Chain A
Amino acid sequence: MIIGSRPTKFQVVIDKNQCMLCGRCVDNCSYGVFRMEPEGIITNTRNCVACHRCISQCPRDAITIMERPCDYRSHPVWTAQVKENIFKQAESGKILLGGMGNAQQYPILFDHLVLDACQVTNPSIDPLREPMELRTYIGKKPRQLEFIQKSDSDISLVTELVPNLKLETPIMIGHMSYGAISLNAHKAMAKAVSDIGTFMGTGEGGLHEALYPYQEHMIVQVASGRFGVDVNYLERGAAIEIKIGQGAKPGIGGHLPGEKVCADVSCTRMIPEGSDAISPAPHHDIYSIEDLKQLVISLKEATEWKKPVFVKIAAVHNVAAIAAGIARSGADAVVIDGFRGGTGAAPSVFRDHVGIPIEAAVAAVDTKLRRQGIRNEVSIIASGGIRQSADVAKAICLGADAVYIGTAALVAMGCRVCGTCYRGLCTWGIATQRPDLVARLDPEEASHNVKNLIDAWTLELAELMGAAGINSIESLRGNRDRLRGYMLDQSMLDVLDVKAIGA
């Protein structure tokens, strides 16, 4: 008790004049903030995580949540966060955990890049009147085509194209495992991507039977824990993704607490019920790039060379050279996960301090692959911190073929980014396995929300392209000329290969 109580993070206030004592807040809060007493609703404000479930369900707008009503003495170095971390570690002697993505105040490069539009010298294209093509193929393309010319008009193609994924929009949903999130959340997203004509990742938790109807739009993941991996799983996926690393925690593995491993999760992951699911930091059969190549080829062999194989890495300092190695491994796409990528749980020290942002990583990888003449060998999928359609457009201009969204799709289903996923108490029924909480998320309804979000971004992307005088996504890809850097220093502009505003 040396340290004692700290100021509450949030204060929950109920306006007694408004409250009609319906008790919805009591029912909805899984963190135990509210309780009904004869004198009214009593709050235990210290339990609040600001997930806003109570606010969303209150019929009278009677609830207000304030952040840090009583703060520490302000100090630029010894901030509240720093002090609280020290308190926690002084008491526990343990590694600190955090949910969701990087919470440090790093500048967001996307917000320092601006897009271009046409004026006079070339006409902008109206997507309502003219075709606008966002179709994207993910996978290996030949460097050049070979033909046999039999006569003047009879030319036949000799080159055989390897399987590619066909996306109707360059937006996919990244890998969030069943276990980390609920089956209803998975169903909702799977239905949305199937309706749109794009794809989502299964994460490393296997593929639940309920998702088999959507399997043609699912990318199955093979991570270091190999949970749920068998040939049935591989064959069901539209593509296979080997996960080497994750932007939120580069260089370390994963840990799904036993509490989240219910009977269903246990079956899907093929592990005992209630046991912790631990993914080791490295794959124990991949200790170098040549081992990766063997795994890529083994997976292709197992699925008769019918499926593209992706490799996902965290964006680390040497990401460009690593991606070039992956491009030569036989993989069809490289997924780069920037340091703002989300997670159910990660050591905060990794989440906040390891890796680089996706903008710089994608630019560096695209440049490196082009310089080596192997850009067609792999597609580039950017992920980690894609918040809006403008980010998608900018990521593509910097060289990505497509993006993965993660957190944005969860937010579309109600997630308030409270960062408490690892506790398994998600009031929205997303990051939890508790049946009563999961039941709150109606997959049908939630799938509409996710679909709406991707549809809306796709419309905005089409408008942005039209304004830039571009009617096909290929012409936006790697088109850094249509970006300008706003308040970026020269070294950053050089990495991004982007000119400054006005230049």
Chain B
Amino acid sequence: MCGIIGVIDKQRELMDGSSIRDALSIMDERGSGEGAGYAAYGVYPDYADLYAIHVFYDNLVEPKAQVEDLLETWGMIEHDEEIPTFEQAGIPKIHTPWRYFFRPKTRLMQRSRTPDDEIVKHIVMEVNKSIKGALIFSSGKNIGVFKASGWPEEVADFYRVEKYEGYLWLAHNRYPTNTPGWWGGAHPFNLLNWSVVHNGEITSYGTNRRYIESFGYDCTMYTDTEVVAYLMDLLVRRHGLTQELAVRALAPPFWEEIERMPEDIQRLNTALRLTYGSAMMNGPFAIAVASPDSIVGFSDRIKLRPLVIGEHDNKVFISSEEAAIRTVDSAIKNIYMPKAGHPIVGRTVA
């Protein structure tokens, strides 16, 4: 199952987390109380040009020292603090969430066009693979992911998401089926500027994981969703595809449709399928991917999971259920279900 809700304000008007909390909570029956989370864009205006790195620590001794060593090797920690949390009956505090505002030393990464992103990606992979008791779950600029094992409303109250204001929110309510419910397994999954929520099960995960690992990404979360974040990072940041083309590569049209396209579009789509066949995702899914200036929703090619789009003034909503969208915006008129596989993009104009 799982429930997802996302919203973007095209003018970057800030929204606090209270309504998204309510929207996610109304879909409680889509989850099992084993994981929920929120990603918000624009929440750290005071540190907007620094990477906000969120870490789950099992304890504040060995893993914390190791993570800080690594951060200081690659750059400067300009500020750090414990992420404020508020005790909830349903959430045993297994981890201590911490945040760093980090400035990479770009000269240390010579071989990349985007050295600062590359440094942070390297740190995320390194920590999650090698440092026991530490897990980086959020690493973008001016972006914060807040997640834990629990029901949507408990996780929201645990972090008091109503205190955060963002122009883009992405939230997820989990019903885990292939891996246990644990904090790291809750969505959204984030890498750099990418955040992903996902309802479904990627049957091509074995292929996708081996593909992405051959480009230097390590899958460490024991769940299929993380590959989506890494694939978007690879295709858009490193290979230079537009977001629409990247989504097309992940959920391409059927050959039958491609054959009916005009010649040059056919050529492009054929090239995408041939080149990125191993990145293509199969199985039932509805996915929303956020980046600082957009939110993209898309489903698998035969739409085995629900996806509803709502549009009202400057806001675009993506959700598993219409009811969740109406919880945020009761006056909304334009609600529709997109065609299978077709991406719906909400983009900022400001």
Q: Do A and B come from one complex?
A: yes
**Residue ranges of A at the interface with B (Cβ–Cβ < 8 Å):** 118, 120-123, 125, 130-131, 133, 135, 137, 141-147, 149, 155-157, 159, 161, 164, 370-371, 373, 375-376, 397, 468-472, 474-482
Is the pair B278, A478 in contact by a Cβ cutoff of 8 Å? yes
Known: A469-B282, A472-B282. A144 touches B210 (CB 8 A): no
Residue contact A130 to B302, C-beta cutoff 8 Å: yes
Enumerate chain B residues within 8 angstroms of A470, measured Cβ to Cβ: 203-204, 282-283
A373, B215: Cβ atoms under 8 Å?
Answer: yes
Asked if A474 contacts B264 (CB within 8 A), the reply is no
Q: Which residues of A contact B215 (CB under 8 A)?
A: 373
The answer to whether B278 and A472 touch across the interface, beta carbons within 8 angstroms, is no
CA distance in complex: A137, B204 (Å): 18
In the complex, are the beta carbons of B242 and A471 less than 8 A apart? Answer: no
Is A125 touching B241 in the complex (CB atoms < 8 A)? no
B239 within 8 A of A: yes
Say yes or no: is B262 at the interface (Cβ < 8 Å to chain A). Answer: no
Q: Can you give 30 contacting A-B residue pairs, CB < 8 Å?
A: A121-B177, A131-B256, A131-B302, A137-B274, A143-B275, A144-B275, A145-B271, A145-B276, A147-B240, A147-B242, A147-B245, A155-B245, A157-B264, A157-B267, A161-B271, A164-B274, A370-B210, A370-B214, A371-B214, A373-B215, A375-B211, A375-B214, A468-B203, A470-B204, A472-B282, A474-B204, A477-B277, A478-B206, A478-B211, A478-B278
Bound together, the chains give a CA A395 to CA B313 distance in angstroms of 53
Residues of chain A lying within 8 A (CB to CB) of residue B80: none
Pair A481/B205 contact, Cβ less than 8 Å: yes
In the assembly, what is the distance between CA of A54 and CA of B272, in Å? 55
Which residues from chain A contact B273 at a C-beta distance below 8 Å? Answer: 474
Contacts of A373 in B (CB 8 A): 214-215
Is B272 in contact with A118, judged by CB distance below 8 angstroms?
no
Does any Cβ of A come within 8 Å of B187's Cβ? no
Note all chain A residues with C-beta closer than 8 A to B337: none
Q: Closest residue to B274 on the A side, CB-wise? A: A141
Q: Answer whether A155 and B242 are a contact pair too, CB < 8 Å, given A125-B302, A477-B278.
A: yes
- The list of the 5 closest CB pairs from A to B, nearest first, reads A481-B206, A475-B204, A475-B282, A474-B277, A479-B206
Is there contact, CB below 8 Å, between A475 and B274?
no
Query: How far in angstroms is the closest Cβ of chain A from B270?
Result: 7
Chain B residue, CB-CB nearest to A137 = B274
Does B87 count as interface, using CB distance less than 8 angstroms? no
Q: Is A145 touching B178 in the complex (CB atoms < 8 A)?
A: no
Interface residues of B in 259-309 (CB under 8 A from A): 264, 267-268, 270-278, 280-284, 301-302, 304
Q: Which of B201, B239, B280 contacts A474 (CB 8 A)?
A: B280
B175's closest neighbor in chain A, by CB?
A121
CB neighbours of A472 from chain B (8 A): 280, 282
State whether the Cβ of B207 lies closer than 8 Å to any Cβ in chain A: yes
B254 interface residue per 8 A CB criterion? yes
The interface of chain B, by Cβ under 8 A from chain A, is 177-178, 200-201, 203-207, 209-211, 213-215, 238-242, 245, 254-256, 264, 267-268, 270-278, 280-284, 301-302, 304
Contact of A145 among B200, B239, B254, B301 (CB under 8 A): B239
Chain A residues contacting B276 (CB-CB under 8 Å) are 145
Task: Kindly identify which residue among A137, A142, A159, A471 contacts B282, using a CB–CB cutoff of 8 Å.
Answer: A471
The answer for the CA separation of A156 and B256 in the assembled complex, in Å, is 22
Q: Is the CB of A145 within 8 A of B206?
A: no
Which B residues are in CB contact (< 8 Å) with A477? 207, 277-278
* Distance of B241 from chain A, by nearest CB (Å): 7
Q: Which residues of A contact B203 (CB under 8 A)?
A: 118, 122, 468-470, 475, 482
Identity of the chain B residue whose Cβ is nearest the Cβ of A129 in the assembled complex? B302
- CA A147 to CA B45, docked complex, whole Å: 34
Measured between alpha carbons, how far is A123 from B303 in the docked complex, in Å? 11
Cross-chain contact B255 with A135 (CB below 8 angstroms): yes
Q: Which residue of A lies closest to B285 (CB)?
A: A122
For B256, list chain A residues within 8 Å (CB).
131
Q: Which residue in B238, B242, B267, B270 is a CB contact (below 8 Å) of A149?
A: B242
- A274–B14 Cα gap in the complex (Å)? 88
Known: A370-B214, A475-B207, A479-B204. A123 touches B278 (CB 8 A): no
User: When the two chains form their complex, are residues A121 and B178 in contact, meaning their CB atoms are under 8 A apart?
Assistant: yes
Given contacts A159-B275, A476-B207, 20 further A-B contacts (CB under 8 A): A131-B302, A135-B255, A143-B275, A145-B241, A145-B275, A147-B245, A149-B242, A155-B245, A156-B264, A157-B268, A370-B210, A375-B211, A469-B283, A470-B204, A474-B273, A475-B207, A475-B281, A479-B206, A479-B207, A481-B209
Report chain B residues within 8 Å CB of A144: 238-240, 275
Q: Identify which of A122, A123, A469 gathers the most chain B CB atoms within 10 Å of its CB.
A: A122
Please name all residues of chain A whose beta carbon is closer than 8 Å to the beta carbon of B280 when the two chains form the complex: 472, 474-475
Question: In the docked arrangement, what's the CA distance between A164 and B281, Å?
Answer: 23
Asked whether, in the complex, the Cβ of B213 is within 8 Å of the Cβ of A370, the reply is yes
Contact of B272 among A125, A145, A156, A469 (CB under 8 A): A145
User: Contact at B282–A146, with CB atoms within 8 Å?
Assistant: no
Distance from A474 Cβ to chain B, minimum over Cβ atoms (Å): 4
Q: How far is it, in angstroms, between the C-alpha of A156 and the C-alpha of B213 when the chains are bound?
A: 29
Q: Nearest chain B CB to A133's CB is how many angstroms away?
A: 6
Our pick among A133, A141, A156, A159 for the contact of B254 (Cβ within 8 Å) is: A133
Q: Which residues of A contact B209 (CB under 8 A)?
A: 481
- Among candidates B241, B255, B278, B283, residue contacting A375 with C-beta atoms closer than 8 Å: B278
Give the chain B neighbours of A161 by CB distance below 8 A.
270-271, 274
Are B275 and A376 touching (Cβ within 8 A)?
yes
B302's closest neighbor in chain A, by CB?
A130
Most buried by A among B203, B267, B273, B276: B203
- Whether the Cβ atoms of A480 and B206 lie closer than 8 Å is yes
B284 and A122 form a contact (CB under 8 A) = yes
When distances are taken between beta carbons in the complex, the residues of chain A under 8 Å from B304 are: 122-123
A52 to chain B, nearest CB (A): 42
B275 touches A141 (CB 8 A): yes
Cβ B271 vs Cβ A159 within 8 A: yes
| Residue in A closest to B255 when the chains form the complex, CB atoms | A135
Minimum Cβ distance to chain A for residue B172 (Å): 16
Give the CA-CA distance A468 to B204 in the complex, in Å. Answer: 9
CB-contact partner of B284 in A133, A469, A474, under 8 A: A469
Interface pair B211/A474, CB less than 8 Å apart: no
When chains A and B are docked, how far (Å) is the Cα of A147 from the Cα of B236? Answer: 12
